[in-house]
Chains A and B, each alone.
Chain A
Amino acid sequence: MELLVASAIGVMTAGGIYLVLRLRTFPVILGISLLTYAVNVFLFSSGRLTIGAPPVLSDDVTTYTDPLPQALVLTAIVISFGMTAVAVMIGLGAFLGSDDDHIDDQPEPRETEGQP
């Protein structure tokens, strides 16, 4: 189980990094989303993996999984939605303004910037 989760984290991280390094806004946003999944699962796994023991108190259960990482990840998921939305909006605004969805400034003949 641990191996599955860890390798899933690794795969999502690798995919996320590769997509973040692309040249257009949309794949970069997808990459950020993948990285978000990876980070959330990683944070969640810091409570170690427990199967079938949700942190909902009950009189006839004695073992529970670690609730704290869950609480932290829960807000992280919601916040990451806000972050993704802002990133998408910025990318969209840039595209609508310049008809270009490159993530980097396109090289243009740059004046030698120096002090007078």
Chain B
Amino acid sequence: MPSILKDRFALTLLGLTLSLFFIVALPFLGALLPGLMNAAGRAACAGVTFTVSLAAFIGLLTNLPQVLRGELVTARVNWMPELGLNFTLMLDGLGFFFALLILGIGLLIIAYARHYLSRDDNMGEFFTYLLLFQGAMVGIVLSDNILLLLVFWELTSLSSFLLIGYWKHLPEGRQGARMALTVTGMGGLAMIAGMLILGQIAGSYDLSVILQNRELIQADPLYLPALILILLGCFTKSAQFPFHFWLPHAMAAPTPVSAYLHSATMVKAGIFLMARMWPVLSGTPEWFAIVTTAGLVTMVLGAVIALFKHDLKALLAFSTVSHLGLITMLLGTGTAFGAMAAVFHILNHATFKAALFMSAGIVDHEAHTRDIRRLGGLRTLMPLTFVIATLAALSMAGIPLLNGFLSKEMMLEEATHTVLFDSPWLVPVLATVGSLFSAAYCFRLIGHTFLGKVRDDYPSKPHDPNPGMWLPPAILVVLVVLIGVAPFLAEPFVKIVTGSLLGEAAEVPKAYFKIWHGLVPALFMSIAAVAGGLVLMLAFKPLSNIWETAPRPEAKVIFEGIVETAAALARGFTFGLHNGAFSRYAMISFVVIVAVGYHAWTSGTIGDATRVVQAAGPVPIAGWTMLVAATGALVFMHRNRFLALILIGIVGLMVSIGFVYLSAPDLAMTQFTVEVVTIILLLLALNFLPNTTPSESTVLRRARDTGVAIAGGLAAFALAYHYMLRDAVSTPISEFHLANSYKGGGGTNVVNVILVDFRGFDTYGEIIVLGIAALLIYALTETLLRGPVRARLLNRIPDQPRAGDMHPMMMVVLTRVIMPVVLMVGFYIFLRGHNEPGGGFIAGLVVSIGVVMQYMASGFTWTSARLKYPYHGVIGAGVLVAGFTGIGSWFVTKPFLTSDFTYVRIPPFDKFELATAALFDVGVFLAVVGAVTLSLESFSRLARRANADETEHPMDINPARAEGSSDPIEPVKEGG
């Protein structure tokens, strides 16, 4: 391609790209405006909505030339390419056709709704929902990625839920909205599964790729599940039998919504998807049997029910169900002619049905009733509405010179060629019966609403509305007549749409759109239908009586029964497992873990033992004996809570010693120091909690718990034992750590180097978690001390006798002498940590113990008066120091937490190492000190409130102090 042409091509593509995104995004962005414009008045609110839709409509029309040339307009932005989820849009004839219906009819509906909604309705809310819906619909028809399509699909379900339930004060509206959401939402879920299967088969989630793979998809064994799942989505959305029941209940929505969603657009989404997938899914016996049958049944059933409905909108709703069935059946035949008839009927149905809905809305608006039995004779009172509704209804009945006749004729023609279940008569006869009932309800609609005598008992005196309400349906009826009289006008467009529907699967039929086809079977079927319809109409009274008395299943009752049953089952299941009792959750978890582990054990392969059992000397056996004895004693004597603390201390101590023995000095030091602070913590808690646990569980319960405990213990034992006797399946990363600890991290204590260097990010996260835990404890304490608990604490009488000398002199003196030593030890442990056992964690714990000792010995008030830095600040400083150390490596363009080190020699000292990791370890140290002390301090704050008579003196009895006066040497500060 010459470069200049190439550039122009790219430019054109660029322009169109913007345009497609623009069309989809506009309604969504515009949805913000009506709400904002609400205060500016109803006209402004409707005006801005109309403008937004108009802009999208014009944007769509700018793409018309490309579509007419048969080009595929695409736009693409990679969203999550790993998942195959890309924001790709595509505009072809089919998408253009539906987008035209959505935006074009949308404009008329907005104009109509402006006058339909009363002053009490929140117009901004309505138009916001409407634009959201419009955007979602346009998104569906323009999506090139089926996952993207699914997102928009669910969005239409949600926005239609909001629109159906718009009149929140009406129970019918709420129930109808819920039913619609349940049915279409379930269908949507099924469709997600179907689409995922389809994408797996085709290897891509892009429609343009999927549509190329007809043979591959149809040959796949998963074709049938995918087909059924996708059809479930389509059938629920397009109200096909047996999911047709939600549509009439959705009629509780305001009439503009019914006209827009439930005749012209949303219910066509299912049809659209069947049409979109037609090239890959159709043509198989399964497709033919499922789709044609469902369509046929829906068509006949909907038409029959519609005839006997007295509510105008209910009648129209069931007629919509019937016509959707007709279109579905046409798509089901799998022939090119059927597809073309379907496209043509979608167009015609959208025009006449939207006009009819709007007319019904006008009647309701003016006469204040939609009950056909209370209407009649409106012909003279509302002549304009009469003309509009009659022309639209006659078109629906299939009267020549109106567009409904043409597509109905094509449908009957197609029916005569369709052989379902080996019977050449089944489809033609049922199609004729459907048309017959269809004609009958159309005649009833005209006859019982507009013809007949003028009555004097209308709830309100009807008259024609202002042009704002009758113009939109009038515009549609003009189209109805225009296409009906001059079908050749619509023919090229319908053929372009059909062409893109068929894709490469079939040729567009040559057949011309004509009013007169000669004396073909379809004509006689049509005549039979219209004549039969007239007869039914004349015999309506007796038929209606029979219908009213005949037993028939009520969909709403069945639906609610199913929902109730499902909810009861879910409740039973959930509350059976999830009854708010912690013991039950714990029990379920343990049993499930052991069971799943057992399954994995039995279904997996276990290699032979590769290591030998190492001999254990008397010392390990003695330690083991103490550990097991302490654990056993703990279980049996846990009711005495102080004893239990001592016993668990023994267990912890034995574990620490075990770590020493098994070459883990760092772990031993950590475990030991943590043990100390944990015991202090539990002692503080026991200060408030009861000192004994009452015996209340039954023997049966204890036996059951023992069983679970033994099973869990055996499982842990077996797993650990098998594990330890086998080598790693692949080389562990530890080899790398050992090899690079000194070379790369500059430290010989590999554990510490891993913590502050190799896995520094991990450690960073952990000190943050620790800080959060401490802050949580602080927050809980604050909450407790501010609530009613405070009064209880103040009035509490300690359950243990208080010591006469709460702060003994010996202890005070000792802890103060020890304090510098402790800090020194902590400093030493910290410094040597990189090369010898130690480090920030352990040093932090040691220093916290030193601080806590001061609290214990000298009292809370005395200690807190001497604290310079709040613990929250210490935690924060720790996290910040660690974080900034990590960020520091950005300045030398290295990733976060890259470490560096060097050796420095300051005479006369030996050379020593300076590493950035040490700075990181300072952060760890500070965070640990802050977190541990903040936790313990919070606990003791509770105690302090309980015994408010603490002195500010370190010692209760001090010979240097004259009784009754404060110590002149010590700084005195009121405890706050």
How many chain B residues touch the partner (CB < 8 A)? Answer: 119
Q: Which of B698-742 contact A (CB under 8 A)?
A: 705-706, 708-710, 712-721, 723-725, 727, 732-734, 737-738, 741-742
Instruction: Report how far A86 CA is from B713 CA in the complex, Å.
Output: 26
Give, as a whole number of angstroms, the nearest-CB distance from A107 to chain B: 9
B723 partner, pick from A11, A23, A29, A46, beta carbons under 8 A: A46
Contact yes or no, A1 B648, CB < 8 A? no
B681 is an interface residue with CB less than 8 A from chain A: yes
A113 to B685, CA, bound (A): 37
By CB atoms of chain A within 10 A, which of B638, B682, B716 has the most? B716
| Assembled-state Cα–Cα distance A24/B587 (Å) | 15
B628 touches A8 (CB 8 A): yes
Expressed in whole angstroms, the minimum distance between the Cβ of A108 and any Cβ of chain B is 11
The answer to whether B697 touches A22, judged by C-beta atoms less than 8 angstroms apart, is yes
Are A82 and B769 in contact, CB atoms less than 8 angstroms apart?
A: yes
Q: Which residues of B contact A42 (CB under 8 A)?
A: 716, 719-720
A79 near B590 (CB under 8 angstroms)?
no
CB-contact partner of B638 in A22, A25, A115, under 8 A: A22
For B710, the closest partner residue in chain A by CB is A14
**Contacts A67-B738, A96-B688; A86 near B777 (Cβ below 8 A):** yes
CB distance B759 to A55 under 8 Å? Answer: no
Q: Which listed residue (A3, A56, A95) contacts B749, Cβ 8 A?
A: A56
Name the B residues within 8 Å of A7 (CB-CB). Answer: 624, 628, 717, 721
Does A10 lie within 8 Å of B928, measured CB to CB?
no
Report yes or no: A14 in contact with B616, Cβ–Cβ below 8 A: no
CB neighbours (8 Å) of B755 from chain A are 71, 74-75
Which of B682, B717, B759, B835 has the largest count of A CB atoms less than 10 A from its CB? Answer: B717
Q: Contact between A95 and B689 (Cβ–Cβ < 8 Å)?
A: yes
Q: Which residues from B are CB-within-8-Å of A53?
A: 663
Knowing A19-B634, A56-B748, A56-B837, say if A2 contacts B724 (CB, 8 Å): yes
Find A79's partner among B719, B737, B766 (CB 8 Å cutoff): B766
In the complex, the chain B residue whose C-beta lies closest to that of A54 is: B663
State which of B33-41, B517-525, B785-793, B953-961 sits at the interface with chain A: B785-793
B750, B777, B783, B837: the one contacting A64 at CB < 8 Å is B750
Our pick among A11, A21, A29, A88 for the contact of B631 (Cβ within 8 Å) is: A11
Q: Which residue of A is nearest B671, CB measured?
A: A77
Give chain A residues whose Cβ lies under 8 Å from the Cβ of B670: 74, 77-78
Q: Do residues A51 and B614 form an inter-chain contact, with CB atoms below 8 A?
A: yes
Which A residues, 62 to 116, have Cβ-Cβ distances below 8 Å to chain B? 64-68, 70-71, 73-75, 77-86, 88-93, 95-97, 101, 103-105, 113-115
Complex: chain A residue closest to B634, CB-CB:
A15
Given A27-B638, A85-B935, A92-B689, is A17 in contact with B713 using a C-beta cutoff of 8 Å?
yes
User: Is B868 interfacial (CB-CB < 8 Å)?
Assistant: no
Separation of A15 and B651 alpha carbons in the complex (Å): 11
Measured between beta carbons, the chain B residues less than 8 angstroms from A68 are 732-734, 737, 754
Check B724–A6 contact: CB distance below 8 A.
yes
Checking B655, B662, B689 against A26 with a beta-carbon cut-off of 8 angstroms, the contacting residue is B689
- Determine if B635 and A15 form an interchain contact, defined as CB atoms under 8 angstroms apart: yes
Evaluate contact between A105 and B662: CB separation under 8 angstroms: no
In the complex, residue of chain A having the shortest beta-carbon distance to the beta carbon of B769: A79
Size category, A interface: 35 or more
Q: Is the CB of B737 within 8 A of A25?
A: no
- The answer on a CB contact under 8 Å between B663 and A51 is yes
- Beyond A24-B693, A82-B935, whether A91 also contacts B685 by CB under 8 A is yes
User: Nearest chain-A residue to B736 (Cβ)?
Assistant: A68
**Least Cβ distance of B679 to chain A in Å?**
10
Taking the closest CB of chain B, its distance from the CB of A116, in whole angstroms, is: 11
Contact for A73 among B667, B682, B714, B792, CB less than 8 A = B667
Q: Which of A49, A50, A101 has its CB near the most chain B CB atoms (within 10 A)?
A: A49
**A89 touching B931 by the CB < 8 A rule?**
no
Cα A85 to Cα B772 with chains together (Å): 12
The answer on a CB contact under 8 Å between B734 and A101 is no
| Cβ of B290 under 8 Å from chain A | no
> Which residues on the A side are within 8 Å of B738 (C-beta)?
55, 57, 64, 67
| Measured CA separation A78–B925 after assembly (Å) | 12
User: B638 touching A67 by the CB < 8 A rule?
Assistant: no
Question: Smallest Cβ distance from B949 to chain A, in angstroms?
Answer: 20
Contacts of A4 in B (CB 8 A): 616, 620-621, 624
Chain A nearest Cβ from B644, distance in angstroms: 6
B696 at the interface (CB under 8 A from A): yes
A29-B716 in contact (CB<8A): no
Do A3 and B638 have beta carbons less than 8 Å apart? Answer: no
Residues from 736 to 773 in B contacting A, C-beta threshold 8 Å? 737-738, 741-742, 748-751, 754-755, 759, 762-763, 766, 769-770, 773
Interface check B666, CB cutoff 8 A? yes
CA distance A73 to B144 in the complex (A): 50
Q: Which of B145-198 contact A (CB under 8 A)?
A: none
Instruction: State whether A1 touches B616 (Cβ < 8 A).
Output: yes
Q: Is the CB of B651 within 8 A of A34?
A: yes
Q: Does B511 contact A (CB under 8 A)?
A: no
> From DSSP, what is the main secondary structure of chain A's interface residues?
helix
Within the complex, what minimum Cβ distance (angstroms) separates A50 from chain B? 5
Interface hits, B613-666 → A, CB 8 Å: 613-616, 620-621, 624, 627-628, 631-632, 634-635, 638, 641, 644, 648, 651-652, 655, 658-659, 661-666
Q: Mark A28-62, 1 if CB is under 8 A from B, else 0.
A: 11100110011011101111111111111110000
B841 and A74 contact, CB distance less than 8 A:
yes
Q: A11-B713, A56-B749 are in contact. Are A3 and B613 (CB under 8 A)?
A: yes
CA distance A11 to B616 in the complex (A): 18
Flag if B709 contacts A17 (CB, 8 Å): yes
Query: Most chain-A Cβ atoms within 10 A of its Cβ — which of B681, B734, B792, B938?
Result: B734
Complex alpha-carbon distance, A33 and B675, angstroms: 10
A residues in contact with B686, CB < 8 Å: 26
Q: What separation, in Å, do the CA atoms of A22 and B793 have in the docked complex?
A: 27
Q: Name the contact of A13 in the complex, choosing from B716, B748, B835 (C-beta under 8 A).
A: B716
Known A-B contacts A13-B712, A34-B631, A34-B634; A18 and B655 likewise in contact (beta carbons under 8 Å) = no
In the bound assembly, the distance between CA atoms of A115 and B174 in angstroms comes to 14
Q: Are B621 and A92 in contact (CB under 8 A)?
A: no
Rounded to whole Å, the gap between the CB of A31 and the closest CB of chain B is 9
What are the residues of chain A within 8 A of B613 when measuring CB–CB?
1-3
Q: Is B776 interfacial (CB-CB < 8 Å)? A: yes
Q: Are A78 and B770 in contact (CB under 8 A)?
A: yes
Q: How far is the CA of A34 from the CA of B632 in the complex (A)?
A: 11
CA distance A89 to B776 in the complex (A): 9
Stretch of B357-365, B578-586, B963-971 with 4 or more beta carbons under 8 angstroms from chain A: B578-586
Set of chain A residues within 8 Å of B212, measured between Cβ atoms: none
Q: Which residues of B have CB within 8 Å of A3?
A: 613, 616, 721
Nearest-neighbour CB distance to chain A for B333, whole angstroms, equals 44
Closest residue on chain A to residue B644 by CB atoms: A30
Whether, in the assembled complex, B690 has its beta carbon less than 8 Å from a beta carbon of chain A, the answer is yes
Chain B nearest Cβ from A7, distance in angstroms: 6
Is residue B416 contacting chain A, with contact meaning CB distance below 8 A? no
Complex Cα spacing A15 to B776, Å: 29
Contact B773–A85 (Cβ < 8 Å): yes
- Distance, CA A92 to CA B689, complexed state (A): 7
Closest A residue, CB atoms, query B839? A74
Task: Enumerate chain A residues within 8 angstroms of B715, measured Cβ to Cβ.
Answer: 13
CA distance A111 to B360 in the complex (A): 46
* C-alpha spacing A80/B841, complex, angstroms: 13
Cβ–Cβ contact A2 & B716, under 8 A: no
Q: Is the CB of A88 within 8 A of B628?
A: no
* Cross-chain contact A5 with B724 (CB below 8 angstroms): yes
The 8 Å CB contact of A41, one of B590, B648, B658, B783, is B658
> Does B784 have its Cβ within 8 Å of any Cβ on chain A?
yes
Q: Check B442 for interface membership: any CB of A closer than 8 A.
A: no
User: When chains A and B are docked, how far (Å) is the Cα of A98 from the Cα of B105?
Assistant: 62
Supply 8 further A-B pairs (C-beta < 8 A) apart from A75-B762, A83-B773. A3-B613, A11-B632, A19-B638, A57-B741, A64-B738, A71-B754, A95-B689, A104-B584
Q: What are some 12 contacts across the A-B interface (CB < 8 A)?
A: A10-B713, A14-B713, A26-B686, A37-B651, A67-B751, A82-B769, A82-B774, A89-B781, A93-B789, A96-B792, A97-B789, A101-B690
